[in-house]
């Protein structure tokens, strides 16, 4: 979202960390208490505002267990280890993402964050960073918080670059917290800009773009299904909605996507912001879905992301 901690609508420049061979990833998986591997497609390296009250977890109502930005990092990395989350697409302030990557170089896939506080990066520099292997994903692009739609012409050179260099684009879709347009951070925020249907012209102009829609496009179920139906290259992540929404509502949404036949295009994500415990809550959101088979859960947690990120072919 964007807006400080709550809106993961930021455009994250995903830096591409060298990818571990799948065999190595899989062998690591066995080390950790038998938990099969997971890939988190949506994690943030955000900073806490020093000196301000700790932000309350919107679900538990309790303050973040992490009291400093370093604790957010260390606790989050510990949770990744605990759940055998072998890779995570991480975006946030570039210097913070760097710190996370230094702490866990094999695990962190670097994203570029764009939101109301983080503008689109310089294009020439971005090209250099991608080609140097320091940026791997362009996202989270929380364009909505900047008052931009996914098909805004200013984004065109970024899509062209991502298509040319074959790196994924991660776009925030859906909504934001209550009252966002009235918050001084985000007067240009509009619900309208979160509609997944707005990616259509981008897909027409850039048919080879690897793109995933964040937050499952929720609550735009029909539009999300329409895009997934017509454009087989599009994936969606289930971040945030798998822990912030009432469980029944999330499961209803997930079940509709499964019934429509999109089980091979769904990606696990947590959208951890400044609450490391959210990662486990997000995992639980998938594991508790009794309508999913074990195989379908493995697809969502891991197999679909391996395919999308091309981790098996390099
Ligand atoms: Zn978001």
Q: State the distance from the centre of ligand 1 to the C-alpha of 42, rounded, in angstroms.
A: 8
Report the CATH fold assignment for 11-309.
TIM Barrel (3.20.20)
Q: State the distance from the centre of ligand 1 to the C-alpha of 253, rounded, in angstroms.
A: 17
Q: State the distance from the centre of ligand 1 to the C-alpha of 224, rounded, in angstroms.
A: 15
Q: What is the pLDDT of residues 154-194, one digit of tens each?
A: 999 999 999 999 999 999 999 999 999 999 999 999 999 99
Q: What is the pLDDT of residues 79-97, one digit of tens each?
A: 999 999 999 999 999 999 9
- Name the pLDDT band for 246 (thresholds 50, 70, 90): very high
Q: State the distance from the centre of ligand 1 to the C-alpha of 144, rounded, in angstroms.
A: 9
- Name the pLDDT band for 25 (thresholds 50, 70, 90): very low
Q: State the distance from the centre of ligand 1 to the C-alpha of 162, rounded, in angstroms.
A: 19
How close are the terminal C-alpha atoms of the chain, in Å?
31
> Which is more confidently placed, 205 or 313?
205
Q: State the distance from the centre of ligand 1 to the C-alpha of 115, rounded, in angstroms.
A: 9
Q: State the distance from the centre of ligand 1 to the C-alpha of 176, rounded, in angstroms.
A: 8
Residue 237 pLDDT more than 80? yes
What secondary structure does DSSP assign to 122-176, as a single string?
Answer: PHHHHHHHHHTTSEEEEEEE-GGGGT--TT-GGGHHHHHHHHHHT--EEEE-S--
Q: State the distance from the centre of ligand 1 to the C-alpha of 78, rounded, in angstroms.
A: 23
Q: State the distance from the centre of ligand 1 to the C-alpha of 173, rounded, in angstroms.
A: 7
Beta strand pairing call for 169-172 and 135-141:
parallel
Predicted confidence at residue 31, as pLDDT, reads 45
d(CA 201, CA 311): 28
Q: State the distance from the centre of ligand 1 to the C-alpha of 10, rounded, in angstroms.
A: 7
- Tell me the pLDDT of the chain averaged across its residues: 91
Q: State the distance from the centre of ligand 1 to the C-alpha of 239, rounded, in angstroms.
A: 8
- Tokens 């089980």 label which residue? 263
Q: State the distance from the centre of ligand 1 to the C-alpha of 23, rounded, in angstroms.
A: 31
Q: What is the pLDDT of residues 138-163, one digit of tens each?
A: 999 999 999 999 999 999 999 999 99
Q: State the distance from the centre of ligand 1 to the C-alpha of 31, rounded, in angstroms.
A: 32
Residue 21 pLDDT more than 90? no
Q: State the distance from the centre of ligand 1 to the C-alpha of 168, rounded, in angstroms.
A: 15
Predicted confidence at residue 33, as pLDDT, reads 64
Share of the chain above pLDDT 90, in %: 86
Q: State the distance from the centre of ligand 1 to the C-alpha of 38, rounded, in angstroms.
A: 20
Positive or negative CA dihedral for 10, 160, 94, 302? positive
What secondary structure does DSSP assign to the chain, as a single string?
Answer: --TTTT---PEEEEE-PPPPPHHHHHHHHTTSTTPPPEEEEEEE-----TTSPPPBPTTT-PBPS--SHHHHHHHHHHHHHHTTEEEEEEESSHHHHHHHHHHSTTTEEEEEEEBTTBPPPPHHHHHHHHHTTSEEEEEEE-GGGGT--TT-GGGHHHHHHHHHHT--EEEE-S--STTGGGSTT-TT--GGGG-GGGGHHHHHH-TT--EEEEGGGTT-HHHHHHHHHH-TT-EEE-TTTTTTS-HHHHHHHHHHHHHTT-TTSEE----BSS-THHHHHHHHHHHT-TTS-HHHHHIIIIIHHHHHHTTT--
Residue 245 pLDDT more than 70? yes
d(CA 148, CA 214): 16
- Tokens 């538990």 label which residue? 60
pLDDT, mean of residues 122-137: 98
Q: State the distance from the centre of ligand 1 to the C-alpha of 208, rounded, in angstroms.
A: 23
Q: State the distance from the centre of ligand 1 to the C-alpha of 82, rounded, in angstroms.
A: 24
Q: State the distance from the centre of ligand 1 to the C-alpha of 226, rounded, in angstroms.
A: 20
Q: State the distance from the centre of ligand 1 to the C-alpha of 146, rounded, in angstroms.
A: 12
Q: Torsion-angle region of residue 300: left (phi > 0), alpha (psi -120 to 50) or beta? A: alpha
> How do the domains of the chain map onto residue ranges?
11-309
Q: State the distance from the centre of ligand 1 to the C-alpha of 236, rounded, in angstroms.
A: 12
Residue 247 pLDDT more than 60? yes
pLDDT, mean of residues 218-225: 98
Q: State the distance from the centre of ligand 1 to the C-alpha of 26, rounded, in angstroms.
A: 29
């Amino acid at each position: 979202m964007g807006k400080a901690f709550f809106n993961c609508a930021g455009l994250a420049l995903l830096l591409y960390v060298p990818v571990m061979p799948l065999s190595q990833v899989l062998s690591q998986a066995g080390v950790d208490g038998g938990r099969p591997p997971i890939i988190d497609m949506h994690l943030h390296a955000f900073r806490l505002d020093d000196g301000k009250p700790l932000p309350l977890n919107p679900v538990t109502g309790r303050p973040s267990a992490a009291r400093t930005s370093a604790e957010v990092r260390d606790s989050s990395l510990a949770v990744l280890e605990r759940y055998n989350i072998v890779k995570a697409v991480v975006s946030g302030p570039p210097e913070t993402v760097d710190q996370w990557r230094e702490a866990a170089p094999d695990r962190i896939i670097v994203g570029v964050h764009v939101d109301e506080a983080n503008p689109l990066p310089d294009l020439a520099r971005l090209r250099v960073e991608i080609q140097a292997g320091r940026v791997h994903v362009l996202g989270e692009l929380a364009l909505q918080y900047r008052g931009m739609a996914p098909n805004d012409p200013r984004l065109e050179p970024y899509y062209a670059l991502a298509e040319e260099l074959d790196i994924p684009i991660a776009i925030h879709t859906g909504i934001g917290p209550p009252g966002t347009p009235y918050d001084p951070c985000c007067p240009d925020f509009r619900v309208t800009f979160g509609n997944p249907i707005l990616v259509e012209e981008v897909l027409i102009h850039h048919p080879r773009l690897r793109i995933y829609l964040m937050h499952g496009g929720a609550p735009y179920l029909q539009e999300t299904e329409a895009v997934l139906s017509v454009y087989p290259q599009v994936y969606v992540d289930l971040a945030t909605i798998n822990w912030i929404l009432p469980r029944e509502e999330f499961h209803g949404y997930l079940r509709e996507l499964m019934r429509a036949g999109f089980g091979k295009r769904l990606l696990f994500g947590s959208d951890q912001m400044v609450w490391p415990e959210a990662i486990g809550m997000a995992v639980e959101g998938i594991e508790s879905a009794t309508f999913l088979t074990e195989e379908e859960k493995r697809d969502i947690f891991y197999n679909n992301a391996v395919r999308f990120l091309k981790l098996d072919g390099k």
